[in-house]
Amino acid sequence: MFPPLVAGIGSLDGTKMLAIAGIVVVLHVFAINVLFPKIIGKRLKLNPLVVTIALLVWGWIWGAMGLVLAIPIAGALKIIFDHIESLQPLGEWMGE
């Protein structure tokens, strides 16, 4: 959010600066909550809901490192679930 606000310091008033901040926040939330799970989930054959849950859980547990490792962990769990007969329903749920 810092670069767009700095760029508008000399030419925009307070309400326009708030509008820019709001637009940046909305776009960021949309990208993280909608686009990222859809794009990453499609490439890895993971359900977007699983990607979102993995990001929330591992990010909460480990912070930034959890966000980096959440998708590989979810993918590895799906592979494990697909190969263990009693866990195959979970593997199917995690898939597209």
| Secondary structure class of 96 (helix, strand, coil) | coil
Condensed to tens digits (0 to 9), the pLDDT of residues 45-69 reads 888 888 889 989 999 999 989 988 9
Condensed to tens digits (0 to 9), the pLDDT of residues 70-90 reads 989 999 999 999 999 999 999
Closest CA to 2 of 20, 19, 29, 14: 20
Condensed to tens digits (0 to 9), the pLDDT of residues 10-23 reads 787 778 878 888 88
Print the domain residue range for 46.
2-94
- pLDDT score of 7: 77
- pLDDT score of 81: 92
Which residues, in sequence order, are CB contacts of 8 under 8 Å at separation 6+? Answer: 16, 17, 20
Residue 31 · residue 79 · CB < 8 Å: no
Supply the pTM of this predicted model.
Answer: 0.61
* Number of domains within the chain: 1
Question: In this structure, what token pair is assigned to residue 95?
Answer: 């898939």
